[in-house]
């Protein structure tokens, strides 16, 4: 493995994160090749962006650092079929999420450096912040350090995408994986969605107009989240009314109580002991029938019909920057198409 601060990099995958990483690294002076399945949907995009595009096997074989930026559920087969047979001895293998390594779906070859660099934001934001001279905060970790230089490689990559501009935090594959899954399940996606739906249902069942309930339980959530994002809970208290503050301080624990925290601990335990990972892997391998049914239930919840109608009159939404969507499992490439 070269000791240069700018190793030859292969980006495998060209979705939201893959494209942002590739563009930022190139602009930082790294030699970047993109590995994609010929004829795949992102091949033309990568070529239009000016990258040399090779088959995944060819890109991996010519790289000193291989960044695996495909969806979680296709990475194990991708590693087994493409990366392990072709990656150079002593190269560095990089992930943006520790799921597969932490849960034993990928056991990296013993001669490789294995690191993680995870920006705390979607690809579009990673790119946009880099372009204006800033960066999205990132965490990094080292799983195997065979060269004695793995941490520096992770930091160099992190710097190349702009993350080191915000003082990257060292973590572990275990901590990154388990906290990321917990945040998604208990708070950001699972918890927030169920809270919004339950609040809306409570108001509608009590006879209030669905449209008014939508504004109070979903639409205005953005106002509070933006305050959290800008300055934490302190900033929220600076900008909401005293009535809202008193209600929040005295009634919030009605909803998030000891039982809620006990359920959160259950979520965390199932992440820590591998229950969630085993269930998700089995679900994916069996065709995602349960996942698709559960997702359809969310999409068909009555709040969605109300929201669609109300948002049609929110003209500012059509001009607002759109976040890069995470890959939908229902439309993710099959394992043999993992690098599309």
Give the residue numbers marked as catalytic: 97
Annotated binding-site residue? 37 = yes
Annotated binding-site residue? 13 = no
- Residue for token digits 């394992």? 335
Structure tokens at 200: 């809306």
Annotated binding-site residue? 179 = no
Annotated binding-site residue? 283 = no
Residue pair 143/125 in contact (Cβ under 8 Å)? The answer is no
- Residue for token digits 């990296």? 108
Paired strand residues for 139: 118, 169
Annotated binding-site residue? 157 = no
Q: How many residues does the chain have?
A: 340
Annotated binding-site residue? 332 = no
Output b/e per residue, 160-179; b: 16+ Cβ within 10 A: bbbbbbbebeebebeebbbe
Please state, in angstroms and rounded to a whole number, the distance separating the CA atoms of residues 82 and 43: 18
Residue pair 310/214 in contact (Cβ under 8 Å)? The answer is yes
Annotated binding-site residue? 146 = no
Annotated binding-site residue? 16 = yes
Among 91, 93, 111, which Cα is nearest to 173's? 93
Alpha-carbon distances, residue 198 vs 177, 229, 255 (angstroms): 28, 24, 11
Annotated binding-site residue? 328 = no
Helix (H, G, I), strand (E, B) or coil at 12: strand
Annotated binding-site residue? 55 = no
Residue pair 162/58 in contact (Cβ under 8 Å)? The answer is no
Structure tokens at 11: 């980006």
Binding residues: 14-17, 37, 42, 123, 180, 184, 216, 220, 241
Which residues does the annotation place in the binding site for NADP(+)? Answer: 14-17, 37, 42, 123
Q: Which residues are annotated as a binding site for substrate?
A: 241
């Amino acid at each position: 493995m070269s000791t240069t601060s700018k190793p030859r990099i292969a980006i495998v995958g060209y979705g939201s994160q893959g494209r942002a990483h590739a563009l930022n690294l190139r602009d930082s002076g790294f030699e970047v090749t993109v590995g994609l399945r010929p004829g795949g949907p992102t091949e033309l995009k990568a070529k239009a962006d000016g990258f040399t595009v090779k088959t995944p096997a060819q890109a991996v074989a010519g790289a000193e650092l291989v960044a695996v930026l495909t969806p979680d559920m296709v990475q194990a087969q991708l590693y087994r079929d493409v990366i392990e047979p072709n990656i150079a001895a002593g190269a560095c293998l990089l992930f943006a999420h520790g799921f597969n390594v932490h849960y034993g779906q990928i056991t990296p070859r013993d001669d490789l450096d294995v690191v993680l660099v995870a920006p705390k934001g979607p690809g579009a934001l990673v790119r946009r912040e880099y372009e204006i001279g800033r960066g999205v905060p990132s965490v990094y970790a080292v799983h195997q350090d065979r060269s004695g230089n793995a941490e520096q490689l992770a930091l160099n990559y992190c710097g190349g995408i702009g993350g080191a501009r915000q003082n990257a935090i060292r973590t572990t594959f275990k901590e990154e994986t388990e906290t990321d899954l917990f945040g998604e399940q208990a708070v950001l996606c699972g918890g927030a969605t169920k809270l919004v739906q339950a609040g809306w249902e409570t108001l509608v069942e009590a006879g209030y107009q669905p449209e008014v309930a939508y504004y109070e339980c979903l639409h205005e959530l953005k106002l509070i989240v933006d305050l959290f994002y800008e300055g934490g809970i302190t900033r929220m208290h600076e900008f909401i009314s005293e009535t809202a503050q008193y209600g929040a301080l005295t009634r919030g624990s009605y909803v998030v109580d000891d039982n809620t925290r006990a359920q959160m601990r259950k979520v965390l335990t199932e992440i820590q002991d591998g229950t969630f990972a085993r269930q998700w892997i089995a679900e994916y391998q069996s065709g995602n029938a349960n996942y698709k049914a559960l997702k359809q239930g969310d999409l068909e919840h009555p709040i969605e019909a109300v929201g669609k109608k109300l948002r049609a009159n929110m003209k500012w939404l059509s001009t607002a920057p759109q976040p890069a969507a995470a890959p939908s499992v229902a439309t993710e490439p099959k394992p043999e198409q993992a690098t599309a």
